[in-house]
Chains A and B, each alone.
Chain A
Amino acid sequence: MTAIVEAIDLVKEFDAGGGMLGKGKKVYAVSGVSFEVQRGETFAIVGESGCGKSTLARTLSRLIAPTSGDVLVQGTSVGALKGRGLRDLRSKIQFIFQDPFSSLNPRMSVGALIAEPMEVHRPDLNAKQRRAETAQLLRQVGLRAAHMDRYPHEFSGGQRQRIGIARALAAKPEILIGDEPVSALDVSVQAQVINLLADLKTEFGLTLIIVAHDLAVVRHMSDRIAVMYLGRIVEIGDADAITANPRHPYTQALMSAVPEARIDANRNPILLEGEIPSPINPPSGCRFRTRCAFAKAICAEKIPLLETTKDGREVACHFHKEIPVSDYGSETQALPEAAKRRFALFRGAVNARKENKTQQGEYQ
């Protein structure tokens, strides 16, 4: 496999506001992050508010420039790109935003919104071809070609997210970065969009990079996960391995806190002490040490580097060999019969009707 995106020791620091007090201070948003994303995989970056995951995603696509470090897209450094080169990069990497209400220009029709990236990135298309392709894209994201002449306010949140996805695909990207692409949506609509992204990924041969905070959604969508805390990756590896058997104390706390939609689930949340420290003044050494039950003197002195474990994942913790591995995988009990039977009946009935009603707009 070849890496399609490679982050090399990425650092992004922001100036902490103006004013006398903020002067000279920096927000350490991303502090030395490296990873590779393979072609065709879905790679997820998870973490809680303020961990730097959105900054990282924006740095990958050069929506913001890194302070230091580099991003290679198909082997080409994006740091030095300007003008035409940058435009070519943007046609390869497209972004889906979180909020379908603020990311679409309300004064542009859906057709114009989707055709715009084609005008920029695919100048060889004429107006007629653009219109034909827009219609095609709308159908591929589960809308109707007739929606082209309508405006964003006429659509629901889920439909707008579909429009945002069609717009991202219009540039014929190879990589799609989604910053919380489904977190603003209701559960039933969220499931529709998750399935849609999976289908489009296969259809267009995409590589997906997803930034999200919902671990159940992330596990479902991705092949590999990187867990971030205060600007650094603390654990990275196979999605199932990390969610079932987290090794880093922070990942363990995070996984234990996920409320499972099952009555027999017994996760016993590990309650973290205190709050996430400010990225303006992060702790020395391991950034998680101030809230870690296993912290010792060395954690304040030395930054733990990512180390590869036996199962192939990487963990940034001085004591990862000694800390007991959590187990959230093997406890899964079978669903009660009544629930299982009805879920199957529901799924079967939806599929049966879908075949009869494929013409019906959102019936996905």
Chain B
Amino acid sequence: MSHSMSNLLSVKGLGLSFSEKGPDFLRDVNFDLNKGETLCIVGESGCGKSLTALSLMGLLAPSLSRRVKGELSFEGQSLRFQDQKKLQQMRGGRLSMIFQEPMTSLNPSFRIGDQISEAWQCHHGAGGRERALEMLERVGIPDAKSRMNDYPHQLSGGMRQRVMIAMALVNNPSLVIADEPTTALDVTVQSQILKLMNDMQKTLNMGIILITHDLGVVAQVATRVAVMYAGEVVEHASAEAIFNDPQHPYTIGLIASVPPISGPRERLTVIPGRVPLPGSLGKGCRFAGRCPFATEICQTDPPVQLMEGSHFVRCHHAPIENMKESAA
């Protein structure tokens, strides 16, 4: 993978198992991100997208974080995933996170102004109230001065998510990881929040990792996309390539199964079966059990193929149109 000057984050060989001999919940996860860009990690429940985020943030339980394998380089500094101390120093500072459910991730018993100031104090010592007010204004909270004294329950879902964003950005991070930031919101509020994140990204030139299951959101905001399935990145490419030139059968099936909002209505394409449980993961390609193109060779680990324009596909058969007509 190319390392340009603006490389912000690169993750190599991230892996995680819950026990010594247990299956790998994450296996050989690789991706990178440049400054000012948005990487979308997309996949269905249980594909490991949130685990990836938590590993990056060093937020796994200590018993688990010891099992994280792999390396990352962040702002030119290379470190190992087990290096919890370093991650903690960066967390909330250069590296920050926005969670899905602002109702459960804001503390219900503290005023929002204090919660944002606290995030500042963790990295700068005392003060931070002025900075908190400034942030609330920047994320579009009307009447921010009096809202500083509100408790989370006094705000609507959209407003709470704005507060979460204010808190995540209070220390000018260079990378923000947002885990399903708009999933709990209505579409009209979602478009407000996505616009806000986009505006803030431009002003701060920060990188965003957006974790989502919503391919619509991905198509609207992503620069690059990593498609995850059963703990692996199966395809990693520019957003344009993912939607216009999808290579991995899972990516193809996933995009094809979304009902279109315009154009003719046809019977939906389905991916048969369901995501395998971690305990049932065997050898070889993890999608093989549901893949309509699977052949005998798929019982062995698929290679990561490099297609045109840093487009990575973990599949024996990509591109599928070159497959020989085999007995299905």
Contacts and interface: CB of A to CB of B under 8 A. Distances in A.
Interface of A: 48-49, 156-159, 186-192, 194-195, 198, 213, 215-217, 219-220, 240, 243-244, 253-263, 265, 269, 271-272, 274-275, 328-329, 331-332, 335-336, 338-339, 341-343, 345-347, 349-350, 352-354, 356, 360, 362-364
Nearest to A256: B191
B288 interface: no
B83 interface: no
A342 B320 contact: yes
Contact of A336 (B245, B252, B262, B274): B245
Given A192-B270, A259-B214, A260-B219, A243 B262 contact: yes
Nearest to B250: A188
A219 B239 CA distance: 26
Given A186-B275, A336-B245, A353-B328, A261 B255 contact: yes
A343 B187 contact: no
Contact of B188 (A253, A262, A341): A253
15 contacts: A186-B44, A191-B268, A194-B268, A216-B216, A257-B190, A259-B217, A260-B262, A269-B188, A269-B191, A331-B262, A338-B244, A338-B245, A342-B252, A343-B256, A360-B272
Given A191-B269, A364-B272, 18 more contacts: A189-B44, A213-B186, A215-B261, A258-B187, A259-B220, A261-B218, A261-B219, A274-B142, A275-B156, A275-B158, A339-B243, A342-B320, A343-B269, A345-B252, A350-B292, A352-B292, A353-B328, A360-B272
A339 B261 contact: no
B257 A350 contact: no
B273 A345 contact: no
B293 interface: yes
Interface residues of B, number: 60
Contacts of B86: none
A346 B188 CA distance: 33
B240 interface: yes
Contacts of A269: 188, 191, 195
A227 B14 CA distance: 46
A268 to B, nearest CB: 10
Contact of A216 (B220, B261, B275): B261
B247 to A, nearest CB: 8
Contacts of A350: 253, 269-272, 292
B213 interface: yes
Contacts of B108: none
B187 A261 contact: no
Interface in B164-192: 186-192
Contacts of A363: 272-273
Contact of A263 (B214, B243, B328): B243
A158 to B, nearest CB: 6
A264 B271 CA distance: 24
A220 B268 contact: yes
Contacts of A49: 157, 186
B258 interface: yes
Nearest to A328: B262
A288 to B, nearest CB: 12
Q: Determine which residue in B45, B273, B275 has the highest number of CB atoms from chain A within 10 A of its CB, and name it.
A: B273
Q: Determine which residue in B249, B262, B319 has the highest number of CB atoms from chain A within 10 A of its CB, and name it.
A: B262
Interface string B83-123: 00000000000000000000000000000000000000000
B45 A186 contact: yes
A216 B240 contact: no
B72 interface: no
Interface in B206-220: 213-220
B241 to A, nearest CB: 9
Q: Determine which residue in B240, B254, B256, B321 has the highest number of CB atoms from chain A within 10 A of its CB, and name it.
A: B256
Nearest to A334: B263
Given A48-B188, A188-B253, A194-B259, A261 B270 contact: no
A349 to B, nearest CB: 3
B324 interface: no
Q: Determine which residue in A255, A259, A262 has the highest number of CB atoms from chain B within 10 A of its CB, and name it.
A: A259
Contacts of A257: 187-188, 190-191
A272 B320 CA distance: 44
Please provide the 5 A-B residue pairs with the shortest distance between their CB atoms, ordered closest to farther: A259-B216, A349-B292, A220-B259, A48-B186, A191-B257
B328 A356 contact: yes
Given A188-B271, A263-B239, A48 B321 contact: no
